[in-house]
Structures are given as C-alpha cells and as structure tokens.
C-alpha cells in the first residue's frame, strides 16, 4: 500500500493532467448537439455533388420559416378582438337620463314635443350602447372582427367600426337629431349627454392574445411527407425550390430526431473520441515541443480552460441566435497564448479550438476557414502586444480579413453581391472591438494563474521601480553593469528572434543578490579596499556564489515572476569562480572544484543562454587594455567558446548559427562602447 501511495505521489503531475484531460473532454462533449450529423453539404441553387440520394426513412416536409411566418401574420391580421362589457353602465345612464331630462327641457314646451324629444334621447342611448362605448381610443382597423363579452358570455359580434369611440358620441347625437329634424335642440342634448354618457367597453388583451395563440398552435409545421426509398435528388441536379426544402427537412430530421438509447450512446461515444483526439494532439504537442509548459500543471490548466471557455461562449451564442456567432472574438485565443507562451503554441491551440467549434456552428466549413485565416493573421501581425498601437492595428487587419473572406464566400455561394447581409459586417466589427478586451483579460489571467506577459515585463523594466532603485542605491556599480548587460542582451535577442523584452528584464534583475554584500564585488569597490584580502579563497568564492541564492530570495520576497527568477538562477550556470579557484590551487594540491562552482542549473532557453554570454562578456570587458577590433574579436570568441566547451548551453534550444550571430552583435557593441576607429596607416 505504501509503495502504491509513493507511486501515486511520484506521478501526481501526470495523474492531474489525465483528470484534466478527461474532465475537459466530457465538458466539451456536453456542450455539443446530441443529435445526428447530416453527412451531405448542399447549397440552394447549386448542383448536388454527391451520389443519388434516397430517403433513408419516412419523414415530413417542413414548411419554410417564411411560410410559417406568413401563416402567423395572416392569423394575427384576421384575429378577433374581445371586449368586456359593463352592463350596469347602460342601466345607470338610462336612469340618469330619465331624472335629468326635465332639467334640460322646460315644462313650457308642448307634451307632444316633450315626448318626441324624450324618445329621441332614448334612441341616442340605444344607438350608443347597441355595441358599446370604448373606454379609450384603440388604433385597430375598422374591419377587424370583434366580440363583446358579458362576463364569459358572448353578447355581440361585429366589426370594430360598430364600437363607438368617445369622440364619436356627438356625431351619433347629430345624426339622430338631423334624422328627427330636431337639430335646433342640439345644444340641449349635447349638454345633457356630456356628463351622462359613460364608456362601458374595455379591450380584453389577455383573452384576445390567448385565443390568437390557440389558433397559432394549430398551425401545421409540415406539408406532405416523403416515403422511405423515394429518390430525393440525383447527382448533378440543381438543388432549388421544393427539393431544397425537402433536403433541409431531412437534415433537420437527422439533427433533431429523438434517438434511441443505444444510438444516443453511440453518438456520445463518437463525439468523445473526436474531442479526446483533438485534446490529445494538444498534449502531445506540448510534451514534444513545449516541455516546460507541459510540466507546469498551472499552464496546462490555463490552456485547457481558455479552449473550454471559448467553446462554451460560442455554444451559448449559437443556442440564443446563430446569426451572432461572428461576434464571439475567437482570435482572442491566439493573442492570449502568444502573450503568455509563443506564436506556434497559440496557432496550434487556435486551430484545434476552431475544429472543435465546427461541430457546433452552422456552415461549419465557412466558419472554420474564416477563423483559421483570421488566427493566422493574428499570429503574423501581432508583435509586442504591450504596445497599444500594435493591438489596434492588428485588430483592424483581422476585421478586414473577416470582411474580405466573407465577401468572397457570399460571391461563391450566390454568384452575386445583391444578397450580402450587410449586418454581418457589423458583427465582424463588434468582434474586433471585443478582441481589444484582451488587454484587461491578460491582466486578470496574470493574477489568477500567476503567469507573466510582455505587458508585465514592460512594467518590470522600469528602472524607477522600487527594487531597481534599491539596487542603484546599494550597489551602483552592479546596477550600471546590469544596464549594460540589458542593452547587449536585448540587441542579441533581436538578432536571433528571441524574446527581447524578457531577456532585458532578466538582465536588469540578474544580479540583485549582490545587494546583500555589495562591496565584495569589484564593480562596487570605490575606496580601493578589497574585503577579499582578509578572507580565504574558499570563503571569498562562497560569498561570490551566494549572490545567486541571495538574488532568488530577494526576488521571491518582491514577488518577481518565475520567468525572471530563472535568469537569476541560470546566469552563471555551473561555471567555476575561476580566480579564487586558481588561488586555492596555489595553496593546496587537492581542491574540490564543486566548492568553487555555481549550483546551476544551466541555461535552458535561448533567453537565459543569451544572458549568460552577455553577462560574461560585459563583466570581463572591463579588463581589456588598449582594445582594438582584433583584441575584441578574440576576447568574445574565447569567452563564449569556453562556455560552449563547458557544456553550459547543452540544455538551451539555441543553435551554433544563433551563437555566431550573437558573437557578431557583441563584437559590434563592444567596438562602439570603446569608440574604436579605423586604424589609418602612418
């Protein structure tokens, strides 16, 4: 049991990667559509490229969205409006009319005329309340059918024109009085009915909508059916009209039909295989070409998290409305990976992510082509992400590529530019603007995952930072030496295409350990007194070697990133403090070389190798007397060749060609430092 636990502990990193791989695979598969996938690609008004297609099973022909929308619009246009009747209003009005009639028309008029006027008023009330008076003015068509409800009982049917609007009451009064030749009594009737007439009809919107929805729910979404083994389309036949709709119906049936339990399991199994294969390729790429990233579980988690996040966001957008898929800033992925890792890893991960998203989005080939091309442009155009102008320029180029490629696809599909959906260009522009969010996102990721981007390196390169100012105060000679090394290292990195910002920052901080005992290092000895004179060679060597350990401790306390601390650890590799080693050999026959060797490790990247070369060259160049071009060339060759012979660069992915390029840069820089001129003959 103990051996098993020890074995688990030794392999905990691989076990974690396995669990991460499995969980990410299942999460992505969970996001995928769970139906079948139609294996044929076809386009409207284009020839059928595959073999003759026969119906694999019975299926219904679905109506187009336009047909269904047209039917819904027709139902809405012809739907009936329902109004609630308050039947107490008419009774109340008639009662009030009876009481107030005598107040308006005096007893001095004849009985016959009084009866005629009274009956005319009753006639007006009957006309007004035949269907009813509306509470408010509604903007419905006069031809709309209406039903008046008394409680839940249907009382009247008619058209909306039968209902009396409040501003039409006076018109009814005028028409009735004109018909009865009583227009000279208009003032009296208007005054009588002004406060008397009350609306008694209220529009019942909820009931009207309910009835309409019941009618819409009865709409048939299919028209006819296709029997199994029926020829649907022949090879070379143009897909258009009904044939196109039949094929769309078959495709929809494949993608949305209810699967049997066994079929469902097989579909899931197939998806799982494909997703696992893609993620496995990513892990194998890391293991073969990015070993340091592969061995760091935090970085592997970061990569898998970003891939899963983009697939999740795309799935949510597709489920909401697939026309918005181009708003999702897929190109943010290679930007992030390039900022934290490198361009090759960024492009590889981007392509795999786009391939996985292809299972989710419609028109997958067009989508994948656009996104892969855009990703390549992103990798090729974005350099020095910490420069804001570069990001804006790159986003503009990415958006332009989207628009050009989409335009080309539309022309290929439609043969014309008339059908271009111009709103899609707006989605591309919004995607470009969303890509600008990469800057704050990088900052968030740095805090969450403890990673370092070029933006952070730019901040660390500020010589006014607290730690570098402290170095300048305590060890001014070392600070000046670090600045010189930084300039040499940056120029060398630019020459061979390494990360110039990273190597510059590493050079600025590589000797911060000398702050602990600054006077024990010659560049800080301004008084002419050398404290090593009072120490043994072994003690002196130990103090010199300890500046690496002290530097790591100071860097940890000041929260410097691991990428920067790597330069402190490796800038001397496993080299020997040669001066004190030779001094010790003069006094003793047997000397343990390890007592005078740095603990290492050796440089393990181009950048750390560059720093080792530049540090050694800059420090030793102070001993050059009467330098000439010939002396400088020999000087650079000797120091770097000695490092090669000692095997200091065996773990770094740097080539002999690149080392030769670095030598040329260093020779040129030293010649400039010493202001060498051409030696003219006497």
Distance CA 281, CA 330 (A): 20
**Is residue 128 one of the residues assigned to a domain?**
yes
Residues 604 and 499 in one domain: yes
Average the pLDDT over 182-192 and give the result: 78
From 371, 401, 432, the end of a domain falls on 432
Average pLDDT, the chain: 84
Distance CA 672, CA 629 (A): 10
Say whether both 413 and 483 belong to one domain.
no
| CATH, residue 496 | 1.10.3210
In a shared domain, residues 161 and 298: no
Kindly state whether residues 82 and 13 are assigned to the same domain: no
Q: What is the percent of the chain with per-residue pLDDT over 90, rounded to a whole number?
A: 30
Give the SS3 label for residue 203: strand
By residue range, what is the domain housing residue 338?
2-33+262-432
Q: Looking at the domain assignment, is residue 290 inside a domain?
A: yes
Specify the pLDDT at position 64.
80
The predicted model gives 45-62 an average pLDDT of 78
Do residue 408 and residue 274 come from a single domain?
A: yes
Structural domains in the chain (count): 3
Residue 145 has pLDDT above 60, yes or no: yes
User: pLDDT-based confidence at 258, cuts 50/70/90?
Assistant: very low
Would you call 228 helix, strand, or coil by DSSP? coil
Q: Does 540 map to a domain?
A: yes
Asked if residue 132 has pLDDT above 70, the reply is: yes
Domain shared by 428 and 462, yes or no: no
Residue 242 lies in a domain: no
> Whole-angstrom Cα distance, residue 333 to residue 296?
19
Torsional sign, CA 103, 108, 113, 114: positive
pLDDT of residue 38: 66
Q: Is the pTM higher than 0.85?
A: no
pLDDT at 639: 93
For 438-490, the pLDDT digits (tens) are 888 888 888 888 788 877 888 888 888 899 999 999 999 999 999 999 999 99
CB atoms within 10 A of CB 438: 23
pLDDT (0 to 100) of residue 168: 81
Verify that 524 and 572 share a domain, yes or no. yes
In a domain, 241, yes or no: no
Structural domain ending residue among the three candidates 191, 215, 239: 215
Q: Are residues 188 and 272 in the same domain?
A: no
Report which secondary-structure segment, H or E, holds 71: helix 65-77
Do residues 414 and 552 both lie within one domain? no
Question: Is 224 within a domain?
Answer: no
Closest CA to 479 of 528, 441, 516, 524: 524
Is the preceding peptide bond at 601 cis, omega within 30 degrees of 0? yes
Same domain for 547 and 638?
yes
| Residue 296 domain flag | yes
pLDDT in tens, 74-100: 988 888 999 998 888 888 888 888 877
Q: Quick one: 461 and 510 in the same domain?
A: yes
DSSP H helices, 526-651, are 537-557, 562-570, 578-587, 606-621, 629-645
Answer with the one of 184, 215, 246 that is the final residue of a domain: 215
């Amino acid at each position: 049991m103990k051996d098993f636990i020890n074995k688990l502990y030794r392999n905990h990193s691989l076990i974690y990667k396995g669990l991460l791989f499995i969980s990410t695979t299942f999460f992505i598969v969970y996001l995928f559509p769970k139906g079948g996938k139609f294996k044929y690609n076809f386009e409207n008004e284009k020839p059928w490229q595959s073999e003759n297609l026969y119906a694999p099973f019975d299926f219904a022909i679905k109506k187009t969205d336009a047909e269904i929308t047209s039917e819904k619009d027709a139902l809405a246009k012809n739907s009936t409006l329902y109004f609630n009747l308050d039947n107490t209003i008419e009774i109340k009005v008639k009662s009030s009319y009876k009481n107030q009639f005598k107040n308006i028309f005096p007893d001095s008029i004849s009985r016959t005329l009084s009866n005629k006027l009274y009956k005319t008023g009753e006639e007006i009330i009957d006309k007004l309340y035949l269907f009813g008076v509306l509470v408010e003015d509604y903007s419905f068509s006069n031809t709309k059918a209406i039903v008046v409800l008394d409680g839940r009982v249907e009382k009247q049917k008619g058209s909306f024109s039968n209902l009396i609007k409040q501003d039409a009451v006076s018109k009814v009064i005028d028409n009735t009085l004109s018909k009865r030749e009583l227009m000279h009594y208009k003032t009296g009737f208007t005054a009588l009915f002004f406060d008397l007439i009350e609306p008694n009809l209220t529009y019942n919107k909820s009931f009207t909508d309910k009835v309409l929805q019941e009618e819409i729910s009865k709409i048939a979404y299919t028209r006819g059916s296709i029997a199994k083994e029926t020829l649907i389309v022949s090879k070379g036949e143009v897909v258009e009209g009904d044939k196109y709709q039949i094929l769309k119906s078959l495709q929809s049936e494949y993608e949305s039909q209810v699967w049997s339990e066994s079929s469902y399991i097989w579909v899931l199994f197939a998806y799982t295989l494909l997703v696992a294969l893609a993620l496995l390729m990513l892990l194998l790429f890391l293991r073969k070409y990015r070993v340091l990233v592969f061995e760091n579980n935090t970085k592997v988690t970061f990569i898998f998290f970003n891939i899963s996040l983009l697939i999740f966001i795309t799935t949510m957008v597709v489920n909401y409305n697939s026309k918005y898929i181009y708003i999702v800033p897929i190109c943010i992925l290679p930007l992030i990976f390039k900022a934290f890792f490198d361009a090759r890893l960024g492009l590889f991960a981007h392509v795999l992510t786009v391939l996985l998203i292809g299972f989710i989005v419609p028109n997958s080939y067009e989508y994948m082509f656009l996104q892969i091309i855009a990703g390549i442009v992103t990798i090729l155009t974005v350099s020095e992400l910490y420069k804001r102008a570069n990001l804006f320029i790159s986003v503009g180029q990415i958006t332009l590529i989207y628009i050009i490629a989409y335009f080309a696809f539309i022309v290929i599909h439609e043969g014309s530019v008339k059908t271009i959906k111009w709103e899609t260009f707006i989605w591309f522009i919004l995607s470009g603007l969303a890509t600008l969010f990469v800057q704050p996102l990088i900052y968030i990721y740095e805090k969450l995952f403890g990673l370092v981007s070029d933006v952070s390196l730019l901040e660390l390169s500020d010589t006014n930072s607290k730690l570098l100012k402290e170095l300048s105060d305590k060890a001014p000679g070392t600070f000046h030496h670090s600045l010189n090394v930084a300039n040499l290292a940056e120029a060398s990195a630019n020459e061979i295409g390494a990360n110039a910002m990273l190597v510059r920052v590493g050079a600025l901080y590589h000797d911060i350990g000398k702050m602990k005992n600054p006077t024990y290092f010659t560049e800080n000895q301004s008084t002419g007194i050398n404290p090593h004179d009072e120490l043994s060679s072994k003690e002196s060597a130990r103090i010199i070697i300890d500046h690496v350990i002290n530097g790591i401790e100071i860097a940890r306390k000041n929260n410097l990133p691991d990428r920067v601390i790597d330069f402190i650890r490796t800038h001397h590799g496993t080299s020997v403090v040669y001066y004190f080693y030779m001094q010790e050999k003069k006094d003793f026959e047997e000397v343990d070389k390890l007592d005078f060797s740095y603990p290492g490790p050796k440089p393990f990247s181009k950048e750390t190798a560059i720093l080792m070369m530049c540090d050694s060259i800059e420090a030793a160049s102070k001993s050059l007397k009467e330098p000439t071009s010939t002396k400088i060339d020999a000087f650079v060759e000797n120091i770097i060749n000695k490092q090669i012979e000692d095997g200091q660069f065996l773990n770094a992915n740097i080539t002999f060609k690149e080392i030769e390029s670095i030598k040329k840069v260093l020779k040129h820089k030293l010649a400039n430092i010493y202001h060498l001129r051409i030696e003219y003959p006497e």
